[in-house]
Amino acid sequence: MADAATPDRTAETLTFPQGFRWGAATAAFQIEGSTSAGGRGESIWDVFTRTPGLVIDGSNAELAADSYRRYRDDVALLAGLDADDYRFSISWPRVQPGGTGPANEAGLAYYDRLVDELLTAGIAPVPTLYHWDLPQELEAAGGWLNRDTAYRLAEYAGLVVDRLGDRVQRWITLNEPAMTTLQGYALGSQAPGHALMMGSLPTAHHQLLAHGLTVAAIRERGDAEVGITNNHTLMVPASDAPADQFAAGAFDLIYNRIFADPVLTGAYPDLSGFGLEAMPGLEDGDLELIGAPIDFYGINFYNPTLVAAPSEGSEFAAAGLPFEPVEFENVPTTGFDWPIMPETFTELLVSFARDYGDRLPPVVITENGASFPDEVVEETVDGGMRRAVHDERRIDYVDRHITAVRHAIDQGVDVRGYYLWSLTDNFEWAEGYTQRFGLVHIDFETGERTPKDSYAWYRDRIAASRG
């Protein structure tokens, strides 16, 4: 692979603390493909993709990056980066097709092979047990609105840990429960596609209960490390006006603190501003489970959010919500139109260390990256032709955000690792194949993998960080 000729973008030191771990992240439904292979059951995302108009390009994940068949290629790409860790997710319906009952041997055998391949390459597996692919049979029984789903996740987790726990030393329970609640159940923009607004809140509690029960299940089976991954954003008030300041605080509560506070402090924040005395679904003993100590806290970060008081006639005002996300002006954006403001990443991390103090365990950046409209070009190199993707904007985004992490460490935040999203292009949920986040370009018809310039850059950045 030819190196990308990229400039040195930062004057700061590139080195990170000894033991800092580098990696890349993916999710099963987005990369595996083969959605009907090996006895895999149906997930809420299979149903969602079949519903006309819900996926922007009308696509599905049957092929995706074809990693179910080409996982060895992907492990080789990780080895080429000299990555320490690979954060991937385990497909619940591939392991337990209906969400209950015995494990599917073919599903477990696939993850056996993947874990062994990683370890042979010197890469530590960091599996996420739940990354949004709820078995459809459980959704039919109420999904995350049903408290029983939390117990089913812990049961499934036990099956996986029993099989892989002799080789896996770090586990992530859930990925981004906030997005499942807010996008999947409140707004309906993601699977399972419900638009319940504040009626979605029980799904937040049931997911966090599932986290607590799963932590307990893992602890019962050995001394592996365990954590959770939450998606967090820095809330920026649209102005100094009291209404906008209040709006930013309210959105921070519903987006960030409802999902962080119970895990890190064992208590929910005050919900009285939303007319609630307590979190819906809360029962005695739940918070003790949810707030049990964890070994690391995963933070996914992509961009800050500008928040204003709801404008008259908006869907937020109609729903009785005291906030409305609005757009930043004169700020560069990604292909998703997300604002690029890496300094807010430092500010977010510092705020976590300040607000939670010694209750915050070591932090791992479990996702950070950017989508851009990449173009594959054919180039002549040493008399032959090669495919290339010159993704300078992605390199710049990642460079500046890695530097933001370094700044947070310099200010006392205990950050232990950084996983770039994503190793390869993938099926980007409701956006289908229209958004590309990968270090490696995927031809979604053939499965061909073409490392982008950012791949070589990230490899070199990892090497430089180690001093």
Centre a 10 Å sphere on the Cβ of residue 312 and count the other Cβ atoms it contains.
7
Selection from 383, 379, 368, 366 nearest residue 450 by Cα: 379
Give the chain's length. 467
- Residue 202, classified by CB atoms within 10 Å of its CB into exposed (0-12), middle (13-18) or buried (19+), is buried
* CA quadruple 82, 362, 349, 242: dihedral sign: positive
Residue 62 annotated to the active site: no
- Residue 103, classified by CB atoms within 10 Å of its CB into exposed (0-12), middle (13-18) or buried (19+), is middle
Tell me whether residue 205 is annotated as binding: no
Residue 9, both tokens: 């973008």
Q: How far apart are CA 143 and CA 185, in angstroms?
A: 10
Residue from 367, 392, 431, 448 carrying the catalytic annotation: 367
Q: How far apart are CA 360 and CA 122, in angstroms?
A: 29
* C-alpha to C-alpha distances, 335 to 182, 268, 319, 371, 459, nearest whole angstrom: 22, 35, 29, 5, 23
Residue 175, both tokens: 């990925």
Q: How far apart are CA 58 and CA 63, in angstroms?
A: 14
Q: How far apart are CA 221 and CA 223, in angstroms?
A: 7
Tell me whether residue 302 is annotated as binding: yes
* Cis upstream peptide for 192 (omega within 30°): yes
Centre a 10 Å sphere on the Cβ of residue 311 and count the other Cβ atoms it contains.
10
Q: How far apart are CA 147 and CA 453, in angstroms?
A: 46
Tell me whether residue 175 is annotated as binding: yes
Tell me whether residue 22 is annotated as binding: no
Residue from 117, 176, 327, 445 carrying the catalytic annotation: 176
* Cis upstream peptide for 422 (omega within 30°): yes
Contact between 422 and 438 under an 8 Å Cβ cutoff? The reply is: yes
Tokens 């079949």 sit at which residue? 50
Tell me whether residue 411 is annotated as binding: no
Instruction: Report CA 99 to chain centroid distance, whole Å.
Output: 22
Residue 176 annotated to the active site: yes
Tell me whether residue 131 is annotated as binding: yes
Strand, helix or coil at 72? helix
Tell me whether residue 30 is annotated as binding: yes
Task: State the DSSP H helix or E strand holding residue 170, giving kind and residue range, or none if neither.
Answer: strand 170-175
DSSP 391-418: -HHHHHHHHHHHHHHHHHHHTT--EEEE
Selection from 88, 91, 70, 64 nearest residue 433 by Cα: 64
Mark the binding-site residues for substrate, compressed into ranges.
30, 131, 175, 302, 421, 428-429
Please identify every residue annotated as catalytic.
176, 367
Known binding-site positions: 30, 131, 175, 302, 421, 428-429
